Structure 1
Amino acid sequence: MELNLSQADSFSTGKRVCGAVREGVAAVIGPRAPASTGIVQSICETMEVPNLQIYPEVQQHPGCCVISLYPAQESVAQAIADVVRNFLHWSAFTVLYESDEGLLRLQEVLKAHGLEDRKIIVRQFVPGKDQRKLLKEINASNETRILLDCATDRVLDVLQQARDVKLISVYHSYFITSLDTHTLDLSEFEPGQTNFTLLQIVNPEDMNVELTVNYWTDKYYYYHRRSLGVTAETVRTETALMHDAVFLFARALHRCYFDVNQSFSVESLECDDRHKWIYGLPLANYMKISEMDGMTGKIRFDDSGRRTRFKLYVVQYFTGEFRKVGWWETGHGVNRTQSETEKEAEIQKSLQSKKLIVASRIGEPFLTEVEPRGELQGNERYAGYSVDLMGKIAEIVGFQLEFRLVESNKHADLVNNLIARTADLAICDLTITHEREKLIDFTMPFMNLGISILYGKPVKEDASLFAFLDPFSVDVWIYVATAYLGVSILLFVLARTSPGEWDNPHPCRSDPEELENTFNLMNCLWFSIGSLMGQGSDILPKAVSTRMVAGMWWFFTLIMIASYTANLAAFLTLNRLEGEISSAEDLAKQHKVKYGTMAGGSTAGFFKNSNDSTYKRMWTTMSQSVPSVFVNSNEDGVQRVQKANGKYAFFMESTSIEYQVERKCDLQQVGGTLDSKGYGIGLPVNSPYRTKVNGALLKLQENGVLQELKEKWWKAPANESCSAKDASELDEDSNKLGLANVGGVFVVLIAGTLTAFLFAVLELLWNCRKIAVQEKISPCEALTSEMKFALNCSNENKPVRRRKEEEEEEEEEEDAMPAGVTAGSFARIGFEKFRDKE
């Protein structure tokens, strides 16, 4: 006989067991109550009656007749730990347990948690059935992974209460330790809404299980004319273990006695006389060494009668049905049977026709409102890079989306929406940072960037009228002028002191009465200026000293002219810009230009948390600046740079700077990037959509779509592009010289010619005065006569004006000459007589 003991107290259970033994039993199965296990085992051990246990044991009582078909608690605990760590890959989660016995099943999970892992929250049920307050506290902690350990009949009640406090959603995952959770009806929870993971010892795919269930349901229907309501998928662990216990005992009984035709009888035993049943110990020993395939798999025991080397199956309920996704076996750990393709297919199935909420903020070029506002509906109200990118991802993954703006238009609200799970995705210029990754999940970066400096573009210098003087500094021009005067005066002095520079004014006279020197002060100045201009002079030095000075001066002018010519082209064609800032180090070294970031953004966090001494110093300067150098948004920072006239620089993401510089021609990016980071799409923690969205982003990147979208929204139209304008202006400047570049040369030419004309007028007036004195006429008459001659361009020879006394003397000499002799022939005759006399 077999005795099945249900829930009862220890005293009544002992009385029932003794009464049953007195009537005669072959084995005792049970008890169900953990508190009664000790007394039942004690009685069975004393009388050597086999005790088959099919319920979880709280504490093992070693004995020769105890055989436990229920998996050992430490083995189940190890299975739970392996599934959590190696199958689900949970590093942080909340443990919610009902009784102290549950901690025994969770001990391996708690011990396996490392010091570097994120904290595990452990909470016990509060007294009573209502656990909503406790569940609200768990929900407030933003934890989405829950390890639930409670009785099977309380699982549904706890899950329903969790749904009431919004602890059931697509972002929450539950691991339920009860081996009978698969028998519960979870259809009231929306399919695909929450992922439930559980363990079960009965394999519904096993043919023996299906045949056994069909056999017993048919028998039940035959005798009772109604369905048993049990299928291979809903067989409880207790039922399967009861079946295996009965068949194990029956198999042992047949093998030990009936198959060998030995006598077998059940005796009446008394609990008081300590009499033992002679057949009990051999039956128990045989069952310990037996192996059998039952409804709970392969049944094997160790020497102490505890079940060993068993399998537990990992089952998940995600898309409206239970699916076996893996298994755990003693000594082999956990193994996954569900492929990644099958897992992605389930996620894909849950995404079909599902509308995801996408949180975003207004900010060019990621998202802008389409004009006219208020007339459009849905996603048609918005345009930008974010809309196009999410549209491409939705096409690949297969879901619908709805854009919603955050109220304050700040990045912090985007993160808060994901934490509160009021949004499924968040996209904008949201930088992936360590602090944000503690609160939300990110996809792979869809755009790489770094922090750079936005600064006002230096204003071009107005072209100088005397730009041709720029190749030399003022000091050099002064030194050149001083050298010119010094060399001219030195040449004049040396020429007067050197005998070699004094020449005979009349070469025909061998013994002149006086000598002349051509290097007077005016000629020395003319010689020096001619050499400096590279034109030379009609007079040259003859003495050694003067030639040496001239040679050194020519060498000096050679170098100066070559240097001037080499630099002149660059100074005339290059538009120099006034700019003092070229890097972050330049900003840190000065105090004239203020600099700042957006308050509370990732850029401010970079300076605040940096270990670099320069960036630390810059953060201190920014924090202590009065008025504040921080702004509320990137748009405010751009406007402040434009209005500051070069007195403010703004640290900003390089991609945003590229967009602004492309459209605002008075701005420029200064220096390179200070760091390297990326923009990512934000998701709530443990979002099931992360893998699919990552795959879509990778596909778009490989196909070049991401680059195309960036060029579409970052590049301005050709007629508005500052880069195109700068390129055209650069081409024009490099090919042509304007009047402003060489205007000074014309000014010098005009000034020189006017000065020459002035000197010509002065010379004319002075000459007319001399003529008037000599000819004793008025200056006006002399001026009139000179002007008439000058304006008569046909005259190539000008007669020599003489005084009247000279003209009368010449007339008298002509009258005294012989007839037919001209003045020239008379002079020639006089010269010949002078020569003959000599």
Structure 2
Amino acid sequence: MKFVICLLGVTVYICVAAADEQLRVALKSKKVLSVPETSLPIAELALENSNLVDSFKLLPVTSGNMGSSFASINKTFFEISDLDLDAIVGPFDMSLDLVAESLDIPYLSLTHDTSQVKKRNTFEMLPDTVWAGRAILDIIEVYGWAQIALFHDDYKGVPLVEQLVTDHSVLVRAWRLPAVAERHHVNQALIQMRKSRIQTILVMCSKENTRLMLDEALNLAMLSTPPYHWMFYDPCLESQEDLTKYTQIQVNFTVISLVDFNNTLKAGNLSKTELALGCDAFSMLISFKNQELETLIGNSSSPQNDTGSKLGNSIRKASLTGHTGKIAFDPQGQRMNVTLTLSTVSGDHTYPRGMWYSHTPMSVPNLILNTAIFPLNQTRPFPLVGRKVKVVIIENKPFTMLKRDHASRQGNDRFEGFSIDLIEYVAKELEFDYELYLVHDGKFGSQMPDGRWNGVIGELIAGNATMSVAPLSINANRESAVDFTKPFMTRHISVLMRVPTYETSYFQFLNPFSPMVWMIIMLAFLVVSWILYGLEKVGRSLDRQTNKDLPPVTIRESVWFIFGSLVQGSTEPVASSLPGRILTSAWWFFALILISSYTANLAAFLTVKKIATPINSVTDLAQQTKIKYGTVKDTGVKNFFKNTQIDYFAKMWAQMSEVEPDTMVDNETAALKKVKTENYAFFWDSTVNKYHTQTDCDLMEVGPAFDPKGFGIGVPPGASYLDQLSMAILKMSDRGILEGLQSKWWDISNCPDLSGGADETSSLQIENVAGVFFIVVGGIVLASLVCLAKYWFPNVFRIPEMVTQKSFLGAMLPKKVNTDDDGVDAEQL
């Protein structure tokens, strides 16, 4: 009586032979290049764990290569026929499946049957995944989950996906990983899953892929986030050590398995699946020995086919309990009456969560849960305390700047700014450490045409950073990709321009009156001069009837008198006639008001700088084409113009994006250079623009700001530490720390304040009053020329003696003027 145990999928066959009381096991060597280990350690370990060492004796034998070719099948057939075996136990192999069916030998397969046609003599020790699917559906129903993500890495996940999809109450998204996945495969799959906002994850992968997925999920902060529910279908607990190694973050996993989590099997570096199922196979074989092997199998003279057939019938009727639960087979050779164990793993502790039974009475549910210590797979908040996290930043003054001597510094000490002080206070409040790094592409974050995100947002989604501390405006598009804390600052959009040149004029003293007023004053001067001349001429002609010595009236004297009165010159004599004196009084009053108004306005005009600002608001900018305008690509400001429904903003976006696309710059530094060197207006955050206007006196903000939004700390979607960060920011606000930081980095201006009408009082410069000196110089030159002309041409400028001595003004004096005791009269004077 002989048994053969063929452990395939590794590198050897194991043949078991029974002789009298002792079962002898012969090891059959087999070389497979793709698999390095042998089945001998598995057999020995299975015997040791089953306490069957004394019942079996291992003997090595040789065999050909494993495969499904005709030559391989033929060689396997003759070799097994020569061994006169009664049973085969091992991983499923197509050659052995065909040979076992041909020789009528029971084949206990330790893995799933991958053949298209089920054979009568093949028995699957590993239950079909359909039972796992039913258990998962029952769990989903109990907890009311609406969607689930499934990760698998071989064919056995496909029927499970189909089974879950047929239940229309749950949405299923599946990702199939390569059999030997690499880190980027798992990373991309997890990121896609996170974008889909699915929070329930079922992992059905190999030990190596499961380990890689856990590590990547940890890097993406997805193990420690409360919304996520992690479940693992691991029949024989291959990943037991990996699931219990994350003690530092205290997460919980739900494990669905055949084997109890606290089992005593010791596999070491070998396969736990082969060990557990191999132990059950040995136990089944030894049970037949204890039940009178002679009766079950017959004596050694019995035909082989008859013996194998009897053994197959006995296996179909067998019902025993092993490491993988109750072992029983249906007519198709598949496990039935399956029992699955639900375990909750929290750190290095394990708690029994419940059991699932494939066959129960009508009144008993299939899923029976124990009283929960805490909700199923409810992960605890990710503790920032004592941890070192990565913080992504972006260079943007005054939020984040490199120190002048940053080349000689290392780590976080290279940076300074508002954001650096902010994260320092937050880290101190929450007692965690951090590592700062600059975003690689220098962008804040915008969604690209392929759906991926770049910049700071992309770093958070990719899991490269635990949080971002930057002037990152909160908008609906970004909120759909990542989460934000409470705002630590409010910003608007404003326009940054170069300060225009000041208006300067040598004749600025003419500015108090408009040109029209000056023309009216000149006209009034001429009209009043002629009217006074007429009034005095008429009045003098009447007075000459009584006093014939009165000199005649001239227009020259009348003009000179009116001009002297206007400029407050010395004009001692007055008009002699009553009408002339009335007109003179009115003119003096006119001159008084005029000179007072001119003096007041002149003081203001000469002591206030006027800036020639062609743009005073955003609407002014939209209505002109001389000054170009734009913003930085892939930013929230650009998205505002792109998505706005306001007419003039939409018009400006068309101008920026289509008519003049060169106005869109790559970064803030390029924009500042463009503002200083070109006729260019830059739309940007008001907080940053304010800083630039206070540190660079050649720049100014124009017009009222618009589009208010908040700056917040960004975190990956669903991060459990979001509330902790928000609470820290609120505490900083209550304590006045945020206001103090703003004063520290913004109240540093040495530039004139140009925000209120763009005016500033200043001292007078030579260019402001040079025109007055020009008039004096002009008067000197004109007087000198007239003097020279009079000297050279005396006949032209000769005036009659009578007019010279008895002028119009002289006639206004009284005939006798007593000036002293000597009684000198006017004639003598």
Query: What band does the TM-score fall into relative to the shorter chain?
Result: 0.5 to 0.7
| Alignment match, 2:541 | 502
Give SS of 1:713's match: helix
| Change in 2 beyond 3 A, CA 1:476/1:724 | closer
| Alignment match, 1:325 | 374
1:378 to 407, 411, 414: 411
User: Could you list the per-position Cα deviations for residues 154-198 of structure 1 after superposition, in whole angstroms to 9, with x for gaps in the alignment?
Assistant: 79787336347x345452245256899999666444235584454
| Alignment match, 1:479 | 520
| Alignment match, 2:390 | 357
2:655 to 590, 605, 621: 621
Question: Does 1:79 pair with 2:112?
Answer: no
Question: Does 1:419 pair with 2:461?
Answer: yes
| Change in 2 beyond 3 A, CA 1:57/1:603 | closer
Q: In structure 1, what residue type is equivalent to 2:651? A: R
Q: In structure 2, what residue type is equivalent to 1:608? A: K
Give SS of 2:398's match: coil
Q: In structure 2, what residue type is equivalent to 1:355? A: K
| Alignment match, 1:706 | 738
Conservation of the 8 A alpha-carbon contact between 2:460 and 2:468: yes
For residues 641 and 634 of structure 1, what CA distance do their matches in structure 2 show?
A: 11
- Shift of residue 682, structure 1, vs aligned partner: 2.4
1:191 to 225, 247, 267: 247
Conservation of the 8 A alpha-carbon contact between 2:130 and 2:160: no
1:697 to 701, 706, 729: 729
For residues 698 and 176 of structure 2, what CA distance do their matches in structure 1 show?
A: 65
| Alignment match, 1:469 | 510
Q: In structure 2, what residue type is equivalent to 1:434? A: A
Conservation of the 8 A alpha-carbon contact between 2:473 and 2:712: yes
For residues 715 and 313 of structure 1, what CA distance do their matches in structure 2 show?
A: 63
Write the mapping of 1:211-222 to structure 2, written as runs, cut at 5 A: none
1:564 to 576, 598, 601: 598
Q: In structure 1, what residue type is equivalent to 2:741? A: L
- Shift of residue 402, structure 1, vs aligned partner: 1.4
Q: Identity of counterpart residues, as a percentage?
A: 26
For residues 308 and 455 of structure 1, what CA distance do their matches in structure 2 show?
A: 74
Give SS of 2:626's match: coil
- Shift of residue 603, structure 1, vs aligned partner: 1.5
Give SS of 1:639's match: helix
Conservation of the 8 A alpha-carbon contact between 1:72 and 1:307: no
- Shift of residue 636, structure 1, vs aligned partner: 1.3
Conservation of the 8 A alpha-carbon contact between 1:715 and 1:721: no
Question: Does 1:520 pair with 2:570?
Answer: no
- Shift of residue 749, structure 1, vs aligned partner: 5.1
Conservation of the 8 A alpha-carbon contact between 1:93 and 1:143: no
| Change in 2 beyond 3 A, CA 1:686/1:502 | same
- Structure 2 unpaired stretches of 5+: 1-127, 257-261, 265-351, 355-360, 445-453, 802-823
User: Could you list the per-position Cα deviations for residues 608-660 of structure 1 after superposition, in whole angstroms to 9, with x for gaps in the alignment?
Assistant: 1111110111111112345711222111111211112xx21111111111111
Conservation of the 8 A alpha-carbon contact between 2:701 and 2:755: no
1:445 to 458, 467, 487: 487
- Shift of residue 471, structure 1, vs aligned partner: 1.2
1:401 to 434, 438, 441: 434
| Change in 2 beyond 3 A, CA 1:550/1:181 | farther
- Shift of residue 606, structure 1, vs aligned partner: 1.3
Write the mapping of 1:96-495 to structure 2, written as runs, cut at 5 A: 98=157, 111=169, 122-123=173-174, 138-139=189-190, 141=192, 143=194, 145=198, 147-149=200-202, 159-160=210-211, 162-163=213-214, 166-169=216-219, 171-173=221-223, 174-176=228-230, 187-192=243-248, 195-196=251-252, 198=254, 305-307=362-364, 312=369, 324-326=373-375, 347-348=382-383, 351-411=384-444, 412-462=454-504, 464-493=505-534, 495=536
For residues 682 and 634 of structure 1, what CA distance do their matches in structure 2 show?
A: 21
Give SS of 1:570's match: helix
Conservation of the 8 A alpha-carbon contact between 2:609 and 2:760: no
For residues 800 and 541 of structure 1, what CA distance do their matches in structure 2 show?
A: 19
For residues 172 and 164 of structure 2, what CA distance do their matches in structure 1 show?
A: 16
For residues 232 and 666 of structure 2, what CA distance do their matches in structure 1 show?
A: 53
Q: In structure 2, what residue type is equivalent to 1:540? A: A
| Change in 2 beyond 3 A, CA 1:485/1:656 | same
| Alignment match, 2:674 | 640
Give SS of 1:669's match: strand
For residues 615 and 189 of structure 1, what CA distance do their matches in structure 2 show?
A: 56
1:666 to 687, 698, 703: 698
- Structure 1 unpaired stretches of 5+: 1-54, 59-70, 86-91, 113-119, 201-212, 221-294, 298-303, 316-323, 329-335, 775-796, 802-838
User: Could you list the per-position Cα deviations for residues 367-387 of structure 1 after superposition, in whole angstroms to 9, with x for gaps in the alignment?
Assistant: 333344543332223333333
How many residues in Structure 1 have an aligned counterpart in Structure 2?
566
Q: Structure 1 residues 649-658 or 487-496, which shifts more?
A: 487-496
Conservation of the 8 A alpha-carbon contact between 1:448 and 1:678: yes
| Change in 2 beyond 3 A, CA 1:163/1:186 | closer
Q: In structure 2, what residue type is equivalent to 1:399? A: F
Give SS of 1:591's match: coil
Could you state the TM-score of these two structures normalised by the residue count of structure 1?
A: 0.56
| Change in 2 beyond 3 A, CA 1:142/1:460 | farther
Q: Structure 1 residues 182-191 or 479-488, which shifts more?
A: 182-191
| Change in 2 beyond 3 A, CA 1:696/1:723 | farther
For residues 155 and 80 of structure 1, what CA distance do their matches in structure 2 show?
A: 27
CA RMSD of aligned residues (A): 5.3
- Shift of residue 725, structure 1, vs aligned partner: 11
| Alignment match, 1:300 | none
Conservation of the 8 A alpha-carbon contact between 2:617 and 2:703: yes
| Change in 2 beyond 3 A, CA 1:677/1:93 | farther
Q: In structure 1, what residue type is equivalent to 2:412? A: N
1:542 to 560, 577, 586: 577
For residues 796 and 531 of structure 2, what CA distance do their matches in structure 1 show?
A: 36
2:751 to 722, 727, 751: 722
Q: In structure 1, what residue type is equivalent to 2:515? A: V
Give SS of 1:396's match: helix
User: Could you list the per-position Cα deviations for residues 138-164 of structure 1 after superposition, in whole angstroms to 9, with x for gaps in the alignment?
Assistant: 33525275534578xx79787336347
For residues 412 and 662 of structure 2, what CA distance do their matches in structure 1 show?
A: 38
Give SS of 2:684's match: strand
| Alignment match, 1:654 | 686
For residues 73 and 459 of structure 1, what CA distance do their matches in structure 2 show?
A: 75
Q: Specify which structure has the higher proportion of helix.
A: 1
Write the mapping of 1:573-592 to structure 2, written as runs, cut at 5 A: 573-592=607-626
Conservation of the 8 A alpha-carbon contact between 2:231 and 2:254: yes
| Change in 2 beyond 3 A, CA 1:296/1:665 | closer
Conservation of the 8 A alpha-carbon contact between 1:641 and 1:650: yes
| Change in 2 beyond 3 A, CA 1:666/1:531 | same
For residues 667 and 563 of structure 2, what CA distance do their matches in structure 1 show?
A: 64
| Change in 2 beyond 3 A, CA 1:181/1:101 | closer
| Alignment match, 2:268 | none
1:607 to 630, 641, 648: 641
Conservation of the 8 A alpha-carbon contact between 1:501 and 1:543: no
Q: In structure 2, what residue type is equivalent to 1:599? A: K
- Shift of residue 438, structure 1, vs aligned partner: 3.0
For residues 485 and 503 of structure 2, what CA distance do their matches in structure 1 show?
A: 48
| Change in 2 beyond 3 A, CA 1:767/1:503 | farther
Q: In structure 2, what residue type is equivalent to 1:480? A: I
Conservation of the 8 A alpha-carbon contact between 2:191 and 2:462: no
- Shift of residue 600, structure 1, vs aligned partner: 2.4
Give SS of 1:401's match: strand
Give SS of 2:375's match: strand
